[in-house]
Amino acid sequence: MKSISRIWSRLPLHLLIIGLALLWITPSLGLLASSLRPARDVLSSGWWTILERPFDLGQFTLENYAAVLNRSGMDRAFINSLIITIPSTILPITLASFAAYAFAWMDFPGRRALFIILVGLIVVPLQMTLIPILRLYNHLGLAGSFLGLWLAHTGYGLPFAIYLLRNFFGALPRDLFESAFLDGASHLTAFFRLALPLSVPALASMAIFQFLWVWNDLLIALVYLGGTPQVAPLTVRVSSLVSSLGQDWHLLTAAAFISMLLPLVIFFALQRYFVRGILAGSVKG
């Protein structure tokens, strides 16, 4: 009886969560449905009409995806996005791990002041830095290159990455590190043998944040790459489709879904670490 009453008491909460989840996922399902419909159906009716004949496979087609990949160079843009996103995720997490460990477990002059400045950098709008950095890139020859974009995303992502990982490192058991130091372990040994293995949830959470941010970025890519077709990522290519394929807007649904497919895979693959990493880093700092 108690279990049944507990289920009934939680039923409204469960229904609310299910309703919010359905509301949240509906635009993505609509985008997927539209991308699989022929152009004549997209122009004549809404995507929800497929619910009238959900098992009729004749109303679906892959022509939109074939047209986007063949006509618009989306295959090259997908590769460019991978070339941009993977180093732009690995570099800031690697540098932030070292810095976060130093802020959490090493005592050096100005540590608190530097950390306060670092936290303050999180709220600085990146738009304020676009013109100065672009002028510097033009002077150094980094504009329109993958290297310039890697450095930009690394710099923009470091403040938040250090803040998140520092909170997680600071919440690790102090006795564990003190025992390691008493046994003669150096900070480098403690970092690689203790801090990193115990921080996999936080590192995975940060990887999700950084990967999604870089993959979905349009502004930074447009400014620093200048719309160069050879190095343009998916976001730049999709934005160009909006103007160049204004009459064939049904192709935009396929292009948009291609751009969001890999982030969805990454998120669902690492979701078990996501909440653990965020909550563990927010308990104490």
Helices (H), 183-249: 187-190, 196-198, 200-215, 219-225, 234-244
pLDDT score at 101: 93
pLDDT digits (tens, 9 = 90+) for 143-160: 888 999 999 999 999 999
For the cut 60, the answer to whether the pLDDT of residue 281 exceeds it is: no
Mean pLDDT, range 205-230, rounded to an integer: 87
pLDDT tops 80 at residue 161? yes
The b/e string for 248-261 (b: 16+ C-beta within 10 A; e otherwise) is: bebbbbbbbbbbbe
Averaged confidence pLDDT in the chain? 83
Q: Quick one: tokens of 71?
A: 């006509």
Q: What is the mean pLDDT of residues 150-179?
A: 90
Rounded CA-CA distance 254/36 in Å is 8
pLDDT at 248: 66
User: Does residue 210 have a pLDDT over 50?
Assistant: yes
d(CA 219, CA 113): 31
The residue ranking higher by pLDDT, 243 or 166, is 166
Least confident segment among 55-59, 154-158, 203-207, 272-276: 272-276
Tokens of 32: 């997927």
What token pair was written down for 102? 């130093």
Q: In this predicted structure, what is the pLDDT of residue 75?
A: 79
Whether the predicted pLDDT of 227 surpasses 70: no
pLDDT score at 2: 58
pLDDT digits (tens, 9 = 90+) for 61-107: 888 888 887 766 777 888 999 999 999 999 999 999 999 999 988 88
Query: What confidence category does residue 285 fall into, taking pLDDT thresholds of 50, 70 and 90?
Result: very low
The domains of the chain, with CATH numbers, are 2-49+56-61 (no CATH), 68-282 (1.10.3720.10)
Token pair 């959470």 is at which residue? 205
Give dist(CA 26, CA 19) in Å, integer.
Answer: 11
Q: How far apart are CA 271 and CA 79, in angstroms?
A: 24
Burial profile 80-95: b = 16 or more Cβ within 10 angstroms, e = fewer: bbeebbebbbebbbeb
Q: Tell me the C-alpha distance between 227 and 56, whole Å.
A: 41
Half-sphere exposure of 157 (CA within 13 A, CB side): 31
Mean pLDDT of the region 257-274? 79
